[in-house]
Amino acid sequence: MQAMPILRRTASVAAGALPTTLATAAALALFALFLELHGVSAARALGLMWQGAFGSMFALSNTLLRAAPLMLTALCVLLPARAGLIVIGGEGALALGGLAAGSLAIAAPTLPAALAWPLMAMAAMLIGGLWIGAAGWLRQRRGVNETIGSLLLSYLGIALFNQLVEGPLRDPASLNKPSTLPLPQTWMIGTLPGTDAHWGFAVGAVACVLTWLVLRWSTSGFALNVCGGNPQAARLVGLPVDRLVIGACVAGGAAAGLAGMFEVAAVQGSANASLMSGYGTAGILVAFAARQSPLAVIVCAVLVGGIGASGSLLQRRLGLPDAATLVLQGLIFANLLAWEALQGRIGAWRLRLAPGAEPSHG
């Protein structure tokens, strides 16, 4: 009898993972066909992808390095989604968060690292939270579609980033690649023991676990889920829907801004155009693949990070463009959307065939 709850829980987890598993399998089959049509052995290419993502400690470190910002930008999608919003503006929040962190080297270059790190993190989270929070505010108070609003804000944020980095905040010594002043060497964040991946991966994983705990066990998390499921019912029972929705957007934006801070303080060393590496858009794929589960975000971020990390090996061994892995990511995303649409159709058919259901004349 004691085994029954465990079995039910295992079956529930397996059922939740099934759509992503099937979508990934279908995407791999289509990607293999794509490779064969271009005269490349699909079996060899997929083997090289595994080797480039997880085949050595260097490959694994590269994968974790890419997974770190993906977890945080995925939370930028997941948290508003729990409130019923589709927000896709994480790229702009990441860029501005990185800019806010990099600008601290201009304002206070003599700070000790123990003080600079929390200040950079707070500045990045503040600007990222305000940026995505603006999309939530426009949605709740002005009726602006949050998907379009967050996308336009992302474009605006990237344009503002480029204007400042190439103008008032530019380091005069950065000639071919405009950037802010480099961070002092003591401010650079170190790596996890035994790997080349920085501490941002650990912070991202902890953020996902904390998000899961809040959403599952706190009254605020329960209220947020109610808002996302039925806003009208949430208002009827007296929940502060606007505050919860905007707060979810602020928290998601803060996570994306923190991703920008780690990219500056652990990878780039300054705010420059390399921050726009597609982590904000790839975070959308991670959140969808995880089906809005914070714990699943960790696994999906590692898998998507591994796909990205394997691109250079495909380029060296098979002569494929480094961006070939983007084709696989796009196929996974398209298959996830197709699966969601299919599930909706199946649900509608079940309702029509249920005993006592009135026949449809539509």
Whether 154 is in a domain gets the answer yes
Check: CB of residue 243 under 8 Å from CB of residue 155: no
Place of tokens 């990934």: 24
Whether 143 is in a domain gets the answer yes
Neighbours of 348 (CB within 10 A): 11
Whether 60 is in a domain gets the answer yes
The predicted model scores a pTM of 0.89
Whether 252 is in a domain gets the answer yes
Number of domains making up the chain = 1
CA terminus-to-terminus distance, the chain: 47
The answer to whether the Cα torsion of 330, 64, 181, 133 is positive or negative is positive
Q: Is 191 helix (H, G, I), strand (E, B) or coil?
A: strand
Whether 298 is in a domain gets the answer yes
Whether 250 is in a domain gets the answer yes
Whether 147 is in a domain gets the answer yes
Torsional class of 194: left (φ above 0), alpha (ψ -120 to 50), beta (otherwise): left
Whether 6 is in a domain gets the answer no
Task: Give the helix/strand (H/E) hosting 336.
Answer: helix 324-353
The residue segments making up the domain with residue 56 are 41-334
Spatial distance between the Cα atoms of 97 and 279, rounded to a whole number of angstroms: 13
- Looking at residue 174, which CATH number applies to its domain? 1.10.3470
Helix H, strand E, coil C: the string for 138-174 is HHHHHCCCHHHHHHHHHHHHHHHHHHHHCCCCCCCCC
Spatial distance between the Cα atoms of 100 and 315, rounded to a whole number of angstroms: 35
Could you read off the pLDDT tens digit of each residue along the chain, which spans 362 residues? Answer: 455 565 565 655 566 677 778 888 888 999 999 889 888 899 999 999 999 999 889 999 999 999 999 999 999 999 999 999 999 999 999 999 999 999 998 888 889 999 999 999 999 999 999 999 999 999 999 999 999 999 999 999 999 999 999 999 999 888 888 999 999 999 999 898 888 889 999 999 999 999 999 999 999 999 999 998 888 888 888 889 999 999 999 999 999 999 999 999 999 999 998 888 889 989 999 999 998 899 999 999 999 999 999 988 888 888 888 778 888 998 898 888 887 777 666 555 555 655 555 554 44
